[in-house]
Structure 1
Amino acid sequence: MKVSESHVIVPKDGEQLSGDAVFVRHLDRSSLFAVIDALGHGDRAAETSAVALDALKETSGNPGVGELIDLLHTRLRGTRGAAAMVCVCRDGQLEGCSVGNVELLSLGTRIPWVPSPGILGASLRRTRIFEVKLVPGDRLILLSDGVSPRIEPSLLRGQNAHDACRTLMSKYRRPHDDATVMVADIEL
């Protein structure tokens, strides 16, 4: 199976830089994607999310989600910290973990996830990793807390991932915070 994704990041009103970030890496049989939401907004938050992106860029092979969360927690020590949703899709199997308040919605297969309490880089006790088998046609939506998760799925009917991101951002963005939407479509 293939993962086709698109995303949009918008800084808090009045800011030039966003503390939100997206990481995507497609390999032969797997895709790694993550939404990072550094605490706060502006320059210092953007610096924190850059540390997280650098850590993910330095990984090689096909690490598991637990290993990636541990890496982010270690690398973000000494920063203001971050929330994140990290997912790996390998051969149609989705493995993921959320720390903090980054949301995952699914239009299709029900995904039984529960966020892990804590802040990457500061306090993290127990991670809750979920696994689920996906099917072609599933659509995953990852949202930072700058976007309301109370979406109306019918608004996205017939839209490609890029257009769906734009629709979600225009309808559900909270201007008082950095906002990120990622849409990942599961294809054959």
Structure 2
Amino acid sequence: MRLSAAHLTRPKVGEVENGDGVLVRREGPYTLLAVVDALGHGPAAAQASAEALRCLGQVALSSSVASVAEALHVALKHGRGAAAMLAVFDGHTLHCAGVGNVELRTVGTRVPVLPTPGILGQSFRTLRTLSTPLVVGDRVALFSDGLSFRVDLEQVRTQSPDMACAFLLERFGRTTDDATVLVADVEPS
């Protein structure tokens, strides 16, 4: 199986630079889905988010999702820190970890990931990870706290990932914060 993904992100109204970052990265059989929300907004947050994405662009996806989170924590040690939701799909199983105010929701297979309280680059409790097998037809969405946690994926169940992202950002996005949404569908290989 493989993931078909799309994402949208926008800065807080009145800002030019965005402190949220998003990445879909494929490495062999692995696909990384990541949404990063650096503390605050504006240029300093955008710089922290860019540093996080640089780290995520280099870390080995064959390692555990906990190792990916630890690498991100180390990379952000000298900056302002960030929240992040990370999901690594190996073709069968979704391995998830989140720190801070970020969400992962699904339609289809239930993936009850609970983000760990804290801030990457500063401090967080023992990282909670979860691994769940997925099936064709499942949909996964990751989003920052720039979207209301009332996000309803059933409203976009039949839309493409691109259209779903556009609807969710428009309908549930907050103008008082940077906002990012990533939607991925599990498809046959």
TM-score bracket, normalised by the shorter chain, equals over 0.9
Aligned pair in 2 of structure 1 residues 61, 84: CA closer, same or farther (>3 Å)?
closer
1:181 equivalent in alignment to 2:181: yes
Could you tell me how far 1:115 is from its partner in structure 2?
1.1
1:58 equivalent in alignment to 2:58: yes
Q: Could you say which residue in structure 1 is the equivalent of 2:69?
A: 69
Following superposition of structure 1 onto structure 2, how do residues 33-44 of structure 1 map, counting pairs within 5 Å? Answer: 33-44=33-44
Aligned pair in 2 of structure 1 residues 171, 58: CA closer, same or farther (>3 Å)?
same
Q: Could you say which residue in structure 1 is the equivalent of 2:46?
A: 46
After superposing on structure 2, the runs of 4+ consecutive aligned residues of structure 1 that deviate more than 4 Å are none
Letter in structure 2 aligned against 1:39: L
Please give the TM-score of this superposition, normalised by the length of structure 1.
0.96
2:72 is paired with a residue of what secondary structure? helix
Could you tell me how far 1:26 is from its partner in structure 2?
1.4
Structure 2 regions of 5+ residues with no counterpart? none
Q: Quick one: distance in 2 between partners of 1:118 and 1:151?
A: 22
Letter in structure 1 aligned against 2:49: S
Output the aligned Cα RMSD: 1.1
Q: Is the contact between residue 32 and residue 61 of structure 2 (CA under 8 Å) also seen in structure 1?
A: no
Q: Quick one: distance in 2 between partners of 1:4 and 1:156?
A: 15
Q: Could you say which residue in structure 1 is the equivalent of 2:15?
A: 15
Q: Quick one: distance in 1 between partners of 2:54 and 2:153?
A: 33
Identical counterparts, % of pairs: 45
Could you tell me how far 1:61 is from its partner in structure 2?
5.3
